[in-house]
């Protein structure tokens, strides 16, 4: 009898323990529970140290398994060029991420960390990844469906390396090409940038129709959490200086710089990154009205806000002059996750002091952590915290490179084709006696790809990753009997003494990123002008300009037979050859106004004294050579300003405009509001 009583008592105790703690303890780990139940359950169990650990994102270099466990680190990042080893394989990446995750999961509550990386034109830190054209080129395609496919391909390549979170897309509306990040912007026109937010649906998956507006969404293990950046106005800084002040009234901010965020939030973007820049003198990293009152409350964004790299440090001048104040200002403004790559112990110490003194209320900490956990649950990290090698074959695979090649074809903008209307140079014949290929960018994969490729600032040369240079693309495209002669900077005597059918001259900018790309003169770097003069004054030539933005080209236009803006095409230069030789036609249109002189800047479509060399939306078209060649002018502006614009195709690119009514039309179309957006803003 005593044995039976003992058994019944033990059974009663066990069932009571399960009711009070056992089953309840598993709620946040139970995928059948509603999302908010899981989030609230986990948040209720967390200590203060565990909460502030979730708010920290540290650099890969510091993220040992021990640090992850000791500090309860919530996130890790690879900055530009931060890799586990040169030319690291997929396995090396996966093993590194899993080792950090092992440390995070070893903690009391086992909250997984989320690893983030810049994947701004493909998985650009990783050797052998497909490098797509930078955003300025994608803006020239006017093809949201293409951009969505690029997002999906990028997500697969990123997930292949074990990473579930990307700092992309950049939805800045660049209003001044002097800005060093202008190539990260799809267009000067917010309407085009809004179109291109379709990349978010590629990266994250198509949001479900019954999803709550503003809630983050990620559609499974082949998708990644995206990050719309940089909120807000980063493309409108004074003189185009990076991290500078955007001077505009609230209407200007809403109509020009804010529209892409409406679309991003509707598509379920998981995170938003705050801009280094200021709005009318107030740093965005401390702007409570825009970060909390507008973005979180009015637009109902429910993902998390992340700072830029050491972004809160720059609230003060000089940066980090009063770090305690920076933490206070940034977190009270509404930033949820702080990117603190190196000085994380100081962050923890100062934030703890601020909360203990009730300067930062615990409610603000709980809001931040709740948002971070919401994204982690949405990504599926609690069910699948570890990566494997099942997607290894996705990195740089043939289908993705073909997609990049298609994007290159569609991004090319033909600015001039022949010195007279009836004698076009393009498409070029594949059968020719001798073709000269010249220029600093003809055989340089690094120059093709630009910044944010393997290294933060990019690199020159052909050894940084796997891809095809334009020279190699030309060689593989022409007739077998056609002789290709390559000379980076040929001298005049060579040009006179050789029977050259025509020349392809490839020049442009060298790679740069962020402030290193700020440029007040925007001239073609040497020896580009000299090469154009030497070659194009003596033989028929097509000039291919590799650049992240329009450059000063008016002095050379008359001597050039054909001129192509190729932007920063990435690793698949066969896309350029496809169009040069007529396998496909030119179809791209300018994503930004091509100025005559930097003295005109800033100058954007719809401005009162709009006098460009080539207007926004301009692009000549050709047809493939298997159809009768057609040469005509395609002007995107006509779609929006019918009856207000006339373009004459000739060597001087003369343009006349009637400005009557343009401002009214621009104001009507610059930020078209869908019914969903109206409900968000009004």
Which residues are catalytic, by number?
A: 308, 514
Give one DSSP letter per residue of 263-283, joined into a string.
HHHHTT--EEEEPSSEETTEE
Under 8 Å CB-to-CB from 319, ≥6 apart: which residues?
Answer: 310, 313
The b/e string for 170-203 (b: 16+ C-beta within 10 A; e otherwise) is bbbbbbbbbbbbbbbbbbbbbbbbbbbbbbbbbb
Identify whether the C-beta of residue 209 lies closer than 8 Å to the C-beta of residue 245: no
In terms of residues, how long is the chain?
A: 682
Report H helices in 380-435: 398-411
**Residue/partner pairs of 38-47 with CB below 8 Å, 24 or more apart:** 38/377, 38/382, 39/370, 39/373, 39/374, 39/377, 40/370, 42/109, 42/111, 42/373, 43/366, 43/369, 43/370, 43/373, 45/109, 46/109, 46/369
Sign of CA dihedral 201, 674, 637, 664: negative
Strand partners, 622: 631
Strand order in the sheet with 282-283: 245-246, 278-279, 282-283
Within 10 A of 680 (CB to CB), how many other CB atoms are there? 19
**Measuring CA to CA, which residue among 43, 98, 94, 105 is closest to residue 72?**
105
Sign of CA dihedral 30, 34, 38, 39: positive
Per residue, the 3-state secondary structure of 440-494, as one string, reads CCCCCHHHHHCCCECECCCCCCCCCCCCECHHHHHHCCCCCCCEEEEECCCCHHH
Identify whether the C-beta of residue 440 lies closer than 8 Å to the C-beta of residue 535: no
Pairing between β-strand 56-59 and β-strand 338-339 as defined by DSSP bridges: parallel
Give one DSSP letter per residue of 128-168, joined into a string.
T--BPPPHHHHHHHT-HHHHHHHHHHHHHHHHHTT--EE--
Identify whether the C-beta of residue 295 lies closer than 8 Å to the C-beta of residue 235: no
CA distance 223 to 201: 9
CA dihedral of residues 191, 192, 194, 197 (deg, nearest 10): 180
Give one DSSP letter per residue of 157-208, joined into a string.
HHHHTT--EE---B------TTSTTGGGSS-SSHHHHHHHTHHHHHHH-PPP
**Measuring CA to CA, which residue among 68, 30, 26 is closest to residue 50?**
68
**Measuring CA to CA, which residue among 622, 660, 609, 615 is closest to residue 638?**
615
Q: Coil, strand or helix: which one is 637?
A: helix
CA distance 326 to 311: 9
Query: Euclidean distance between the first and final Cα of the chain, in Å?
Result: 74
CA distance 21 to 39: 17
CA distance 180 to 189: 18
**Helix or strand run (H / E) with residue 534:** helix 528-536
Identify whether the C-beta of residue 120 lies closer than 8 Å to the C-beta of residue 452: yes
Sign of CA dihedral 96, 101, 106, 107: positive
């Amino acid at each position: 009898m005593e044995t039976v009583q003992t058994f019944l008592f033990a059974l009663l105790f066990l069932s009571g323990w399960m009711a009070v703690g056992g089953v309840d303890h598993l709620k946040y780990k139970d995928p059948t529970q509603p999302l908010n139940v899981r989030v609230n359950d986990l948040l209720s169990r967390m200590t203060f140290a565990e909460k502030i650990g979730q708010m920290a994102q540290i650099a890969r270099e510091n993220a040992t398994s021990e640090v992850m466990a000791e500090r309860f680190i919530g996130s890790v990042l690879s900055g530009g060029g931060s890799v586990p080893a040169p030319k690291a394989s997929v396995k090396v990446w996966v093993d590194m991420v899993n080792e950090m995750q092992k440390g995070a999961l070893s903690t009391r509550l086992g909250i997984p960390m989320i690893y983030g990386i810049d994947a701004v034109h493909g998985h650009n830190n990783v050797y052998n990844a497909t490098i797509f054209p930078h955003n300025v080129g994608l803006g020239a395609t006017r093809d949201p469906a293409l951009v969505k496919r690029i997002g999906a391909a990028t997500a697969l390549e990123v997930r292949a390396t074990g990473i579930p979170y990307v700092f992309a897309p950049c939805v800045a509306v660049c209003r001044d090409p002097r800005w060093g990040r202008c190539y990260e912007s799809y267009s000067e026109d917010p309407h085009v940038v809004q179109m291109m937010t379709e990349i978010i649906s590629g990266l994250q998956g198509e949001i479900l129709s019954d999803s709550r507006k503003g809630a983050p969404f990620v559609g499974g293990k082949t998708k990644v959490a995206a990050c719309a950046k940089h909120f807000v106005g980063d493309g409108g800084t004074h003189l185009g200086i990076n991290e500078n002040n955007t001077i505009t009234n609230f209407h200007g901010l809403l109509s020009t710089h804010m529209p892409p965020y409406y679309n991003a939030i509707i598509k379920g973007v998981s995170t938003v990154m705050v801009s280094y820049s200021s709005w009318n003198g107030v740093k965005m990293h401390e702007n409570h009205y825009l970060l909390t009152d507008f973005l979180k409350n009015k637009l109902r964004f429910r993902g998390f806000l992340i700072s830029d790299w050491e972004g809160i440090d720059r609230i003060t001048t000089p940066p980090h002059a009063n770090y305690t104040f920076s933490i206070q200002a940034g977190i009270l403004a509404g930033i949820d996750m702080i990117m603190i790559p190196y000085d994380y112990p100081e962050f923890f110490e100062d934030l703890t002091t601020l909360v203990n003194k009730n300067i930062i209320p615990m409610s603000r900490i709980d809001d931040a952590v709740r948002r971070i956990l919401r994204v982690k649950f949405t990504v599926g990290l609690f069910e699948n915290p570890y990566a494997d090698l099942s997607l290894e074959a996705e990195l740089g695979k043939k289908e993705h490179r073909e997609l990049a090649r298609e994007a290159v074809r569609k991004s090319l903008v033909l600015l001039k084709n022949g010195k007279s209307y009836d004698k076009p140079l393009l498409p070029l014949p594949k059968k020719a006696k001798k073709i000269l290929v010249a220029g600093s960018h003809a055989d340089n994969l690094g120059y093709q790809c630009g910044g944010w490729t393997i290294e933060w600032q990019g690199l020159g040369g052909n050894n940084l990753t796997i891809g095809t240079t334009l020279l190699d693309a030309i060689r593989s495209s022409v007739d077998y009997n056609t002789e290709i002669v390559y000379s980076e900077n040929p001298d005049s005597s060579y040009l006179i003494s050789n029977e050259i059918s025509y020349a392809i001259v490839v020049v442009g900018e060298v790679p740069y990123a962020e402030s290193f790309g700020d440029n007040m003169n925007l001239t073609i770097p040497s020896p580009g002008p000299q090469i154009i003069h030497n070659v194009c004054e003596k033989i028929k030539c097509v000039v291919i300009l590799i650049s992240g933005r329009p450059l000063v080209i008016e002095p050379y236009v008359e001597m050039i037979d054909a001129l192509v803006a190729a932007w920063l095409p990435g690793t698949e230069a066969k896309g350029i050859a496809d169009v040069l030789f007529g396998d496909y036609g030119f179809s791209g249109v300018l994503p930004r106004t091509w100025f005559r002189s930097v003295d005109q800047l800033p100058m954007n479509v719809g401005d009162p004294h709009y006098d460009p060399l080539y207007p926004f939306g301009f692009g000549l078209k050709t047809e493939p050579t298997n159809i009768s060649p057609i040469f005509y002018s395609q002007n995107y502006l006509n779609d929006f300003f019918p009856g207000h614009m006339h373009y004459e195709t000739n060597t001087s690119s003369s343009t006349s405009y009637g400005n009557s009514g343009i401002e009214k039309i621009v104001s009507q179309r610059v930020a078209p509001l869908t019914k969903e957006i109206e409900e968000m803003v009004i």
